[in-house]
Every structure is written in C-alpha cells, then in structure tokens.
C-alpha cells in the first residue's frame, strides 16, 4: 500500500458502530473509509468520507462500493457472499475476510461442522428441522439445551433455552426456520479472543472475559480472570480457529471455559467484535486499526496490553422507542482514565447498544465494580 493524499480507500459493508470505530481508526493510517448502509446518515457518517445508501445485499450498491474503493471489507454478516465475491472479481477490488469465510460464518450449523471437522473443540450439537428432530436430539444431549436459528441471530435473538420436553413445540415455532441445538455447557466463564490474520502473520489479542446477561454482552474484563494455563489454552484454540478462516482481518472468537478447565468454541464473528472494544484504550493497537492493517496488507501492530481494562456496554433503558438523549455522562468525563464512546444512534429502545465506557487502571482489583458504577450512572429516561 502506498500512502497518498487523499489516501487509499477501504469500502466497508455496514455503517453502524463498528463502521464508526473503523473510521476513527482509519485516519491516522492515512486511509479513507466509504460505507454502505440502508439507514441514511448512519452512525459512521460523521467520521467517514461518504455513505452509499443501500441494502447490505444489493448488488448495485456493492458494485458501486467496489468501484470506488481500493479494498473491501464488512462489519456485518448480512452481506451476500456470492454478490461480494462477484463484484470483487469483476472490479478487481480485493475483499477481506474472504467471502468463503462469510459463507461459513453465516450458517451456525455449517460453522460448527467445519470447525469440528478441523479438530476445534465445540459443544455437542445436532441439526434440527422439526419438533421431532429437537425432541430426539434433546434425548441424546439432555435437558436443558440451547436451540439456535442457523442464520440471522445476534445479541441473544434466535437463541431459545429448551428446559424440558414441554418446551419443544413452542421453541421450534419461535425459531420458525432451520435450526441447530447444542448441549448446555456447564461453564466457569465466557471468554473471547480477538484473532488477527495478516498477509504473512497471525496474532491474538489478550484473552478477555466476557460477562453476559439475557445473552447480551454487558462487560469485558481484560486480562480474563482465569488461570494462565486456561488463557494459554484459549489462545491455542483461537489459533486453530484462524487456521480454518480464509482471508485477512480480525476475527471475534467466543469461547467457553468449562468447569473442568477445558475450552470450547461458541461462535465466530469475521470482523471486529464488541468483546474487543476495550483494545482501543487497553492495547498498543486497537482491534479496529488491526483490522484495517490486515485488510490493506500492512504489517500487523502490537497486540500487547498496556494496562488492565474493563469495558461496559451502554444499553437502552427505556420502555418505548424514543429519540436518544443520554444523561449522566459528566460522571464519566470527570473520572480519570475513563473513556466514553458514543455510537451516534438517533433512537434508543430497550437493550439497544448505544455506546460503551472503558476504564483502565494499574491493577485489576476493583476495576469491574468501578466501571459498573460509572455505567449505572447513565440513563436515557
């Protein structure tokens, strides 16, 4: 890549909060971002060169993006990999990660089968098409079990806990499409590793502990409060996952640490991920800068951690959809080593991700409690 003014352009499918943070990371690298998103004036627009308004899988939109960019990537899995592959080939614009990786990730059953076949440890799972399939699978895996829509689910959407036989019919009806069921993992904690594939190198960020409630990520703690042996095992599994992925970029690798110290793969995101937001302040290179370095073929940056870090999500706390007006942010801005990240979404509704707060310290003791106190001082009401 040769730096010029204006700089090389990266086209990004998606202009939400991840596109916004990619735009913030692009400027110091001499890169310019162009995003596509169906929502006019999407959250990324204040920090990128331009937005093409169009659906994530619209071929004309993606073709225009490819024609105007030097590199292509995506921050959302709703893009059509066939269309992306076709426009990239016809325009000669390289795309990373590869569309083949997107095909694998979009279908949770395909993802699990491919990773399992490669030797990556995963929970026991079965394909489910009917209530009879689910009943039979749960007889093998045991109750409770987790039923997942094969496509489209996020932040707990498309996941249904099946407590017993009496829940089978309703669970299948609620998913209303192709599904898979997994054994319920008895885990000590959930972990995440942001893995990086560059042109000729691979790396991982420090292992992170992720804390969920109602299947929505609430806090990330780095380094994870797990033993050194468990963290090393998690990084080894993450490297095995990277071996299966195609193309360059950052990959969010979600894991379970079981109660007996084993590591199981949960899911993969072929892009920067919520569990890696802490790297903006916590590491020498953020996950967003790293993704752009990888996509454009630049050397990867250092993933070393600068100090213990906790990130907490700012979620909507209102009962009805309404214009977004955050209150209580002065408490964060007045706190040393606290950092507010606002995603610029115009409307707020219950549990919608509106931003995050990051807090750093010289040691990890009390850091999570302090970060929660800062986050709990915020409201949209």
Q: Which range, of 101-115, 141-155, 159-173, averages the lowest pLDDT? A: 141-155
Q: Is 169 annotated as a binding residue?
A: no
213: Cβ–Cβ under 8 A, 6 or more apart, which residues? none
Taking alpha carbons only, the member of 189, 227, 230 closest to residue 211 is: 189
Over range 259-273, report the average pLDDT. 95
What's the distance, CA 232 to chain centroid? 21
Establish whether 214 is an annotated binding residue.
Answer: no
Check residue 215 and give its pLDDT.
86
Q: Is the pLDDT of residue 158 over 90?
A: no
Q: Which two tokens stand for residue 315?
A: 């979620």
CA distance 32 to 24: 10
Domain 185-378 CATH superfamily:
ATP-grasp fold, B domain (3.30.470.20)
Is residue 139 a known part of a binding site?
no
Tell me whether residue 188 is annotated as binding.
no
Q: Would the annotation count 112 as a binding residue?
A: no
Do the domains 123-181 and 185-378 sit in the same CATH topology, yes or no?
Answer: no
**Residue 185, marked binder:** yes
Give yes or no for a contact between 304 and 161, defined as CB atoms under 8 angstroms apart.
no
pLDDT value of position 156? 63
Rounded Cα distance between 303 and 325, Å, is 35
Q: Is 267 annotated as a binding residue?
A: yes
**Per-residue model confidence as pLDDT tens digits over 325-346:** 999 999 999 999 999 999 999 9
Cis? peptide before 223, omega within 30° of 0: yes
Please report the pLDDT score of residue 6 as a whole number. Answer: 84
3-state secondary structure of 127: strand
Q: 180 a known binding residue?
A: no
pLDDT tens per residue across span 33-74: 999 999 999 999 999 999 999 999 999 999 999 999 999 999
In the chain, domain spans: 7-94, 123-181, 185-378
123-181 CATH choice from 3.30.300.20, 3.40.50.1820, 3.30.1490.20, 3.30.70.260: 3.30.1490.20
Q: Which of 200, 195, 194 is nearest to 299 (CA)?
A: 200
155 pLDDT exceeds 70? no
Residue 124, marked binder: no
Q: Is 345 annotated as a binding residue?
A: no
Give me the architecture of the 7-94 domain, per CATH: 3-Layer(aba) Sandwich (3.40)
């Amino acid at each position: 890549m040769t730096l010029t003014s204006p700089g090389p352009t990266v086209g990004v499918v998606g202009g939400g909060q991840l596109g916004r943070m990619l735009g913030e990371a692009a400027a110091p690298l001499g890169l310019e971002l162009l995003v596509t998103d169906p929502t006019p004036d999407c959250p990324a627009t204040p920090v990128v060169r331009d937005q093409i308004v169009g659906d994530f899988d619209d071929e004309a939109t993606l073709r225009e993006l490819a024609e105007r960019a030097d590199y292509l990537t995506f921050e959302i899995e709703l893009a059509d990999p066939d269309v992306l592959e076709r426009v990239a080939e016809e325009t000669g614009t390289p795309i990373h990660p590869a569309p083949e990786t997107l095909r694998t990730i979009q279908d949770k059953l395909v993802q699990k089968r491919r990773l399992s076949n490669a030797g990556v440890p995963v929970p026991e799972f079965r394909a489910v098409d009917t209530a009879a399939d689910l009943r039979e699978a749960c007889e093998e895996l045991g109750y409770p079990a987790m039923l997942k829509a094969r496509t489209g689910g996020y932040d707990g959407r498309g996941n249904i806990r099946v407590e017993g036989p009496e829940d089978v019919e309703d669970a299948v009806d609620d998913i209303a499409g192709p599904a898979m069921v997994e054994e319920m993992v008895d885990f000590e904690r959930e972990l995440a590793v942001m893995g990086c594939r560059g042109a000729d190198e691979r790396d991982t960020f420090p292992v992170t502990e992720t804390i969920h409630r109602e299947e929505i990520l609430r806090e990330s703690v780095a380094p994870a409060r797990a033993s050194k042996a468990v963290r090393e095992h998690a990084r080894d599994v993450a490297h095995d996952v990277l071996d299966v992925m195609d193309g360059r970029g950052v990959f969010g690798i979600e894991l379970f640490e079981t109660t007996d110290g084993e590591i199981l793969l949960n899911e993969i995101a072929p892009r920067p991920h919520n569990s890696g937001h802490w790297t903006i302040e916590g590491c020498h290179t953020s996950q967003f800068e790293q993704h752009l370095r990888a996509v454009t073929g630049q050397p990867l940056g250092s993933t070393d951690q600068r100090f213990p870090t906790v990130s907490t999500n700012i979620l909507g706390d209102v009962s009805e959809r309404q214009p977004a007006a955050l209150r209580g942010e002065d408490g964060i801005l007045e706190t040393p080593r606290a950092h507010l990240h606002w995603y610029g979404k115009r409307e707020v509704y219950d549990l919608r991700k509106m931003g995050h707060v990051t807090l750093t310290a010289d040691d990890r003791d009390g850091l999570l409690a302090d970060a929660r106190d800062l986050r709990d001082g915020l409201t949209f009401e």
